[in-house]
Structure 1
Amino acid sequence: MKSIASVVPLRDTTAWPGYREARWIPRRYGVCAGEALQYDDTRTRWVWADHPCAAVDDVFVGGQRASNWTWRNVADATGRPVTMIEFATPVPEGQGVVARGRGYLHPVRGVLIENAADVIWDILANVAGLPLPAARLAAFRQQSVDLPVGGSFEEPARGYEIARSICSSIGAICSPDMTGFARLWPEFDGPAVTTIGPGDIEVSAQADLDDIVTDLTLRYAWQAGTPRGAVQYVVARAPAAGPRPAVVDAPWVSSSRVASQVCARLLRLRARPQYVVSVRGFRGDLRVGDAVDLTHPLLPVTGVHMAQSREYEIGDAGERTSITLRAPAGAVPAIKLVRNTNASEAMPQLEISASAAASEFVVTLVDDETGLPLAGADCTLDGLITRRADSAGRVEFPSRYATPGQHMIVAVAPGRDPATLILTVT
């Protein structure tokens, strides 16, 4: 029996008589980028998606933009429609093809699918064959209308893994238990369906201050397994204990605007202590995604918050529901944007390494194309101090910055994407 825990299938290239190697044929949604697959031994025909697409906008061969190509939605050897890129001359051996474009069209409305709700519905209902009506996702569709997604389903995975990857990319949670299957979180907790106050229930709450983040980088615009964009926000007032950096990946975000919105929303939550609140023995039906109004005098937090997990049981005391939720404490901090970069051209990256010794904190930069030291690049440590690389590509920071814990180093060189390194000093 199929379920959301079942693996969602993809076709592979062995369906084509002239296939070069066995590879999964991807599905693509929204504005995205990814590798095209060699269709036959001519090396002039390459498939970008296992379905018709709205457009192929750019093609890169061996990392360089190509011009001798056209694209079409055509039937492959099995009669299935695919998105085909055709070159005027064969692609040289050893060089790969990467394309950027706009993916699958809605099977009914004929428009580009880029709402997270529609992507989840198409993959789970149409590809996996699960009974997930589009109407069930109506509320989530409306919530995420201003957060278009763009990404690729490139290898078989369990249904819930795919849905969670899409949701987490835009700051949302999902669950089969949820009435509407998915909804944005944090900052989208209401309205409350009930109040949790004194009564015949048990409550508890705990918080871990080690979970606080004050410097958040979100990596997005993924292409062939590598993020091409990064947005970084920090709390406006530098914490006395120093920055607490973290990196999150959003493989289903391709827009710098969406990345900025999601990163800011997540940092406003993660920069505050979060209480994990457990409510046990509630009489009634509460589901994941339902919001409750906390007014219990034994709890350190109040307000409206969303249930993120639940257990339901029938016993001697009747029907009881237990839920767990996360509730931030304290004022929402002011935050500021540090950077938001999204590469639109094929450019070399930085290879970055770091080490901490008793007397120095050293970063070495290397051009990943030439293997030579990258002189003149600026390195910023934890948003506090910036030093320029010498002729050997070395940057030295004073040893007082090599405190135990995590540190973020951002290296910037002209004509290259910023490179970010998270280093743990023990």
Structure 2
Amino acid sequence: MTGLGPTTPEPQPGRRKFLLPAGLAVLVLAVAVAFVLTRGKDTGDPAATGGTASPGATEAVATSGPRSSPAPSGSVLPPPSASTPAKEPTGAPSAPKALPVTATGGGRYPARFAVGAPGVQPYKQSDASLPVPKGYKVVNPSNKDSKEWDLYDCKGTVNLDHRYFKGFIYIGTGCHGTVNITNSIIAPPPGSTNRAILVNTDGSGELQLNLTNVTIRPEPVGLGEKSVPLNDHAVNDCATCTITFNRVDVANTGGMCLCGARTTIRNSWLHDNYIANLTDPAAAHTGGIFPYGGTGPVTIENSRLEPGIDAHTGKEVKNYWKAITAVLFTQSVDGSVLRNYSVRNSFISLGAYGLYAQNGADLRITDNVFGPTHWDAAGGCDSNCSVTFGEWSNNVVGTIDGVPTKKQVPKPN
């Protein structure tokens, strides 16, 4: 999230500021045939304009002005950005670069463009918008100025299926129970004043937020223009939230989740971190998945996390590392300790670091493939913090496309 955490670390003259790998060991990794997760079939109502909320939800126009983000896990978030003009849709997408058959780690994590909302075709970071697939209902913002769609008093269970949200989703203070967002696209337009899903639920009740087969992809803006979802984490947690991602595609954001407790991310993909509007990419300073001040549990498995990739070309986003401190970044707030943190069977690539652990007890990092980074695959703790690993095993180096090698990634000391 913008303004949180340290600046991207750089080495001091003559030595590294952070730990260098102690050595490389050999791990024999059998690479299976390609495994490509398939999309579900399109179902639902014909596309229409101005959809309505599920029972218990409200689409009323907000009576107050644009909201700033809540403070998950003790953080303080920045005020909303100014609005910018909307852009027109582009034509049919061209084919992205084909991946090697071994680029899923033997089926442990998805191929590019293999997860997300049904019917979404491969797209470029610069495409003005995604076409509306057949069977989706277009949902316009409740507030034309902030570009938010409001979900207020959602008691019980709210199911939002086959929706194309032309705004960011605001989950209000009185929203408790279960919210299921499935087979849907969340595409905040230029001028949106907050992250793609802003969770502001209060502590008077619990919220279960489940995202399944969802594409989160804010629309781009030009250099010097502002739209908050482009440079902030797509989703945030709350004190009484339980959050689950499954087969979620997150692009054109500053990260996937500002989530530090009761969060599970499976079979999901983070890519194309958006810095094209920033005159100074280092102003972002986000982490791909960032349990800032979190206490756990956090589980990440079978996911493809490569924020610095231009997925359509298969090449790095220029200066990606200046904006993403680490793909996986942990940091304490007021003495908080992250526990029950597990990352397994995932591809971790193209942050300034892959894993940058400044906080955590008995972290479990197993069976992952670490792709290219600007500094090191793993590091982060110095004399000012204490991190312990309950397990570090079978973590190997991989190529930019996700193909594993036989080189082990050393555990940070």
TM-score, normalised via structure 2 length: 0.24
Q: Which structure's residues are more often helix, by fraction? A: 1
- The structure having more radius of gyration, on CA atoms, is 1
